[in-house]
Chain A
């Protein structure tokens, strides 16, 4: 099966400063127009969205990292990822989560009652597509793998949902 990793950076607005209202003077329509250049169908195929805030100089200085209780080194992340990949390969089908078929998703990505509840809410609220539904489950499976967990817990699922392209219009009423 052919797989590609699609990774794409994007600015939040034409000037690049939004949501820093101190510097951004783009109108809401300009921002929306800019963000709309990434169409809904494309967005629906992106599983993980993350905002990268600007770093302070302090954080950039050698020896300092991004502030936070969990400062993970690249080496640690690498070993974590390798371990997760191993888990996936050993699961039986010999492939990574991204390539799971819907049947396999049903088999390997089962949710418990709490997870189902949350999924139900999110599905209705975010008006998820079938594609998004399966993709969230696969990402949740991967997050559980990174945690070394056999079961997808509710918090794994929640994180997968939170990674879904957020922004306006998703949780919006």
Chain B
């Protein structure tokens, strides 16, 4: 992640040190609203928000009224100094976002701290009802959609988690209700083994009509999402920044593809910059949107394990990819297995055990094996780096012949030189 700010890096590292059993409540403090730097993007033809079908179970809510409520919810999202908890409280007490706007300041003071009531008062003075509706209309002309919790497009899955987001800012589309989904998450600093497993798992999921949810982070997250998209599947990213902020910048291509082949979601207003405190928060949305959470690689005491805890709290099935005992990147996963998480031996089995298999749309044929050339050295390659010397020892071949085959394998994408003289296996395995 080249573009990472030094400050953020520090904080993120600090985050990893946190206890994995961290309580959601504790993190609430970091939740204070961030400056809603809204970027208005010009609308392209065909970008217009499609009118959602209004469901029967919300009889009173017509399209026009929904739009109005959305505008008020959007106003609430943009009040600085107001957290998610307060927003929910306001709407719960008043009955709707619009009613919350219309409350007396005194009423606000009854259940909100003085500062928050003041912030609301200030924002109300700034935005008269007309002005407020106008601003929302202006916002709607942009590429980004806002889906509040009363909107029919608000994911059902999120309504079931403790502490659901008040609203979702969206680029692309929402995860589909009828489409099963698996969150594939893991370490940013992952190993070649992790990369391989993430890639393969995501591809197999995508091929079976399962969407892949993740956080678009460097490492496992981004790799799995990219693999899902490359396999023609759907993938959805939940960001810890505004949806218009591509973080990390190196995932720009993935970001652009996700807009078209899936969606980018965030509960933070556009323009919100990534902050360490926001990441554990968004993790609960990742696990919330998924039916099963698959953890590929995680260190002990890592952000990934926090997500695993949240997933369990939400009642989700958690699966871990087993690893070697000596590998620090597998320690988190092995720990989860010990605590009773499912062991991901194959996607097929995982799907069978979790009931995802019955819900999938289609399956595709077997993956292709190696093309037959240079199998001699290939069979000694592994997903952790081996030196050419090591391979020479193991294969009993001459050094130059080993290197020669390695170069062929590299050219054919079946091996990779990860650093000078160190090689790892790439690509497919013939199916067990």
Contacts and interface: CB of A to CB of B under 8 A. Distances in A.
A67 B389 CA distance: 9
Given A67-B393, A70-B399, A19 B385 contact: yes
A68 B393 contact: yes
Interface residues of B, number: 38
Interface in A118-147: 118, 121-122, 125, 143, 147
Given A27-B13, A29-B2, A158-B400, A53 B407 contact: no
A147 B401 CA distance: 13
A155 B400 contact: yes
A69 interface: yes
A125 B403 contact: no
A159 B387 contact: no
A75 to B, nearest CB: 20
Contacts, number: 100
B192 to A, nearest CB: 9
B234 to A, nearest CB: 22
Interface string A130-173: 00000000000001000100000011101101110111101111
A26 B399 CA distance: 33
B1 A27 contact: yes
B421 A51 contact: yes
Given A19-B385, A69-B392, A161-B407, A171 B417 contact: yes
A14 interface: no
B406 interface: yes
Interface string A65-97: 001111000000000000000000000000000
Given A21-B191, A166-B421, A158 B408 contact: yes
B305 interface: no
A32 B1 CA distance: 8
B420 A29 contact: no
B145 interface: no
B135 interface: no
A159 B404 contact: yes
B404 A21 contact: no
A8 interface: no
Contacts of B219: 28
Contacts of B413: 173
Contacts of B189: 21, 27-28
Contacts of A19: 385, 418-419, 422
B404 A53 contact: no
Interface in B383-401: 385, 387-389, 392-393, 399-401
B417 A162 contact: yes
A68 B389 contact: yes
Interface of A: 12, 19, 21-22, 27-30, 32-33, 49-51, 53, 67-70, 118, 121-122, 125, 143, 147, 154-156, 158-159, 161-163, 165-168, 170-173
